[in-house]
Amino acid sequence: MRRLLAILLALAVASLLASLASSQGRPDSGALMAAQRAALRPLAMMDGVWRGTARIQDESGSWREHAQTERVGPMLDSTLKVIEGRGYDADGKKVFNAFAVLSWDSAKKAFVFRSYTRGLSGDFAFTPTDSGYVWEIPAGPVTIRYTAAIRDGKWREVGDRIVPGQEPIRFIEMNLQREGSSDWPAGGAVPPR
């Protein structure tokens, strides 16, 4: 008898939870996707293939320069932006590789910038500006701030270490020229047959 009561009680609780879940309804995926596309639309200026140089200051204070490429494109019906950066030394050897996914979170009304490089990853603050964007990495008392301006087929991005009470310390400068469009990453999908 106890077992039967326990089963009936479990069924009643499950029925109640299912009823509550269905009364809240599912989010309107069409509206969510439309909001995501609208939020990312002003950043379409990033899409395409880019090439140029990057200068990076190492721990000794010396500046190194390498060839830098970026490829950027929409994914999932333009609700995401996918970004890959690669740096190459004078011999063509890859010395840097980063990958990021930019999306809009409709519930939080904020961009989500997920970046991966050198075994590290994280979600970082991302703010579009009139001519590009700013994104930041908190690193204890220091903030790493990247500021990009994209105009007339030119992409300039700088990185600064921000220490409270001190002048920013520039440690990277990237200057790229847009080479053209790309169907990356959506192009080349595996067909059904």
Transcribe 78-129 into DSSP letters.
TTEEEEEEEEE-TTS-EEEEEEEEEEEETTTTEEEEEEEETTEEEEEEEEE-
Contact 96, 105 (CB under 8 A): no
CB atoms within 10 A of CB 72: 24
For the domain made up of 29-180, give the CATH fold: Lipocalin (2.40.128)
Contact 173, 54 (CB under 8 A): yes
Percent of the chain residues topping a pLDDT of 70: 88
Domain boundaries, the chain: 29-180
Contacts of 171 (CB under 8 A, 6+ apart): 56, 57, 159, 160, 161
Cα 5 to Cα 167: distance, rounded to the nearest angstrom: 70
Contact 115, 122 (CB under 8 A): yes
- pLDDT class for 191, splitting at 50, 70, 90? confident
pTM equals 0.83
Percent of the chain residues topping a pLDDT of 90: 80
pLDDT digits (tens, 9 = 90+) for 143-187: 999 999 999 999 999 999 999 999 999 999 999 999 999 999 988
Over the Cα atoms of the chain, what is R_g? Answer: 23
Cα 134 to Cα 128: distance, rounded to the nearest angstrom: 6
**Residue 83: alpha-carbon gap to chain centroid:** 7
- pLDDT class for 27, splitting at 50, 70, 90? confident
